[in-house]
Amino acid sequence: ADPDPLQDFCIADLEAQPSINGFPCKPASNVTSDDFFFDGLSKEGSTGNIFRSNVTAANVLAFPGLNTLGLSMNRVDFAPGAINPPHIHPRSTELVLVVKGKLLVGFVTTGFVYHSKVVSAGEIFVIPRGLVHFQKNVGKGKALSFTAFDSQLPGVVILPLTLFGSTPPIPNDVLTKSFQVDEDVVKAIKSKFGN
Ligand code: GLV
Ligand code: MN
């Protein structure tokens, strides 16, 4: 969904001030084949966290060669039982390829319809841009997926962290009224996310 480029490539100069859309190009005379290569998705991410999953992003910030090219990729590692919690990518559709294990992948439309599938190795599932989605490891062992995006920087709004872990925090009465629960429930959830 990113704009089309007006030149072959534009390796991001991450030190430069970002311009209105993406980064300025590093000088063409300094470009080498290594600028088109990234090995950061080859290693398993650490799943030692409350969700038991880990996202390694190959977006323009990690891989400057993607600048202006309108695509990027994540590696997502899942320990047994892991969740990649409900989240949104404001600037991108997502294509999930499961490489190992079995994932329950689901999203909800703007009309509140829930779509989901159990996706196994070699299978793909598409999540339309801007919709709330998640993955859960429903296999016996670890799971591994790669996700492709039609944006160099899809952005991510992680719902539990956004609603309960913001700085400064959203007032408790906003959350109790929104979720129709007592304040102790809101406080308990906030405490899991550093608030
Ligand atoms: C999975 O949903 C991802 O954003 O990589
Ligand atoms: Mn996603």
Sorted by where each begins, the domain ranges of the chain are: 28-155, 165-195
In this structure, which residues have their CB less than 5 angstroms from ion ligand 2? 94
Locate all alpha helices (DSSP H) within the chain, ordered by sequence.
159-164, 172-179, 183-192
ipTM over 0.85: yes
Q: What is the pLDDT of residue 108?
A: 99
Cα(88) to centroid of ligand 1, in Å?
Answer: 9
Q: What pTM does this model have?
A: 0.96
Confidence category of residue 1, pLDDT binned at 50, 70, 90: confident
Count the Cβ atoms, other than its own, within 10 Å of residue 65: 20
Q: Enter the tokens of residue 36.
A: 């088109």
Residue 96 tokens, joined? 């999930």
Give the position, in ligand 1's atom list, of the atom nearest the Cα of 147: 5
CATH, range 28-155? 2.60.120.10
Find the mean pLDDT for residues 112-124. 98
At 20 the pLDDT is 81
The alpha carbon of 147 and the centre of ligand 1 are apart by a number of angstroms equal to 6
Give the per-residue pLDDT at 79.
Answer: 98
Q: Where does residue 58 fall: left (phi above 0), alpha (psi -120 to 50 degrees), or beta otherwise?
A: beta
Pocket of ligand 1 (CB under 6 A): 55, 74, 76, 84, 94, 133, 135, 147
pLDDT digits (tens, 9 = 90+) for 159-171: 999 999 999 999 9
